[in-house]
Amino acid sequence: MRIAAAQFDPTVGDVVGNLERIERAVQDAKAAGATALLTPEMSLLGYPPRDLVLRQGVAEACERAAAELARRHPDMLLLLGLPRRVQRKGRQLANALAICRGGVVERFHDKRLLPTYDVFDEDRWFAAGDHVTVIEHEGERLGVLICEDLWGGADVDASRAYASDPVADCLKAGATALIAASATPFVLGKRARQHAHLARIAAAHGVPVLSCNQVGANDDLVFDGASVLVDAAGRIAESWPLFETTTRTVDLRGGCRIAPPAERARERDLIDALVCGIRGYFLKTGHAKATIGLSGGIDSAVVATLAALALGPAAVTGVMMPSRRAAWMTPRRLHPIFPSAACSRFPSPTCTSASPRT
């Protein structure tokens, strides 16, 4: 079975734009021979939507977008993340996946485990799902999960007292593979815990596991993508690039085809995450240039470097704040710790000296 996972960067609230991004992913998936496409959690609205999801008409707009994508692509199995209206005690919304096939939204799967720790407060908005979803497609029985349904808090190295186990329930219902739509934020060291968790599940039950994660930055959260397919032996069969938008098609039963991902230095992860956050903020707020006040200390030098990496050196102007030491940094002469032949990975922003106040 060939299935594609669309690791993309949604803009929160931009339902029309997110629909267009998914449309491009569908076209890429078809071109690669996929018959199914998995998108990240809340892909049509973007994650985290926070109180935006409570506004009248937001869930309905997402449901219309899902129906439109289903109508356009009757030959594909599409799994689209969205909020949807429900009638349940205490809440009228569910964090769901629309399962589209044959030109219609065939059914929904509602997220069962709603995290309420760290940056999460999902039971503020959503009612928990109460059913197991296993769908048949091309000889596989796919157990459908949404983010915490798969992780259960294990990826943050903390135990959670959940009353149910969606993974075990899918396997009891006859799932031969597990697929999960995620929007799990970047945290240093979390990726290794996720891989270990997936390997344990896959190897213990002899089923492949595919996790499709959001990439990009929204508000105070950064997402690294890092979507992954783990084969039935618990080995990484395919891994999507970090901090990049891409759609890849894989064979769920293709076996292990790649070497394990190389270990990355924590500093590399941290730099990439900070650059992703800066770039995402500027792109999604419509800003193109930055002006940074430079004190001459290491803190402002690091900020200037990160801004130049995220936006390009030409888009960053550094202004030396007035001081008795300001003379050592002018447009034509840099301080010795920033030689003119700097490493291309750390491009220098344009620098000027501000006039002292009178």
Q: Are 149 and 81 in contact (CB under 8 A)?
A: no
| CA dihedral over 222, 226, 229, 235, signed as positive or negative | negative
Catalytic position from the list 62, 100, 111, 190: 111
* Strands across the sheet containing 104-110: 104-110, 91-101, 77-88, 36-38, 2-7, 246-251
The pLDDT of residue 274 is above 80: yes
Q: Would you state the pLDDT for residue 349? A: 54
Q: Can you give the residue range of the structural domain that contains 346?
A: 288-353
Confirm whether 252 is domain-assigned: yes
Mean pLDDT (whole number) for 232-257: 88
Is the whole model's pTM more than 0.85, yes or no? yes
Domain final residue, candidates 207, 231, 264: 264
Q: Would you state the pLDDT for residue 216? A: 96
Confirm whether 190 is domain-assigned: yes
Q: Would you state the pLDDT for residue 162? A: 86
pLDDT-derived band at 197, boundaries 50, 70, 90: very high
How many residues does this entry show for the chain? 358
Same domain? For 250 and 318 the reply is no
Q: State the Cα–Cα distance between residues 339 and 345, nearest whole angstrom.
A: 14
Cα distance from N-terminal residue to C-terminal residue, the chain: 72
Confirm whether 279 is domain-assigned: no
Domain final residue, candidates 264, 279, 300: 264
Confirm whether 213 is domain-assigned: yes
Active-site residue flag, 41? yes
The amino acid at residue 42 is: M
Same domain? For 74 and 170 the reply is yes
Confirm whether 223 is domain-assigned: yes
Same domain? For 151 and 258 the reply is yes
Same domain? For 42 and 114 the reply is yes
Q: What value does the mean pLDDT of the chain take?
A: 88
Confirm whether 275 is domain-assigned: no
Helix (H) or strand (E) holding 27: helix 15-31
233-to-106, 115, 119, 202, 236 alpha-carbon distances in Å: 32, 29, 33, 6, 9
* Number of domain units in the chain: 2
pLDDT in tens, 132-155: 999 999 999 999 999 999 998 776
Same domain? For 213 and 344 the reply is no
Same domain? For 307 and 171 the reply is no
Active-site residue flag, 244? no
Confirm whether 157 is domain-assigned: yes
Q: State the Cα–Cα distance between residues 43 and 69, nearest whole angstrom.
A: 13
Same domain? For 237 and 335 the reply is no
Catalytic position from the list 62, 147, 170, 351: 147
Same domain? For 203 and 304 the reply is no
Same domain? For 240 and 292 the reply is no
Catalytic position from the list 41, 63, 140, 238: 41
Confirm whether 283 is domain-assigned: no
Active-site residue flag, 147? yes
pLDDT in tens, 34-85: 999 999 999 999 999 999 999 999 999 999 999 999 999 999 999 999 999 9
pLDDT in tens, 299-318: 989 999 999 999 999 999 99
Same domain? For 148 and 59 the reply is yes
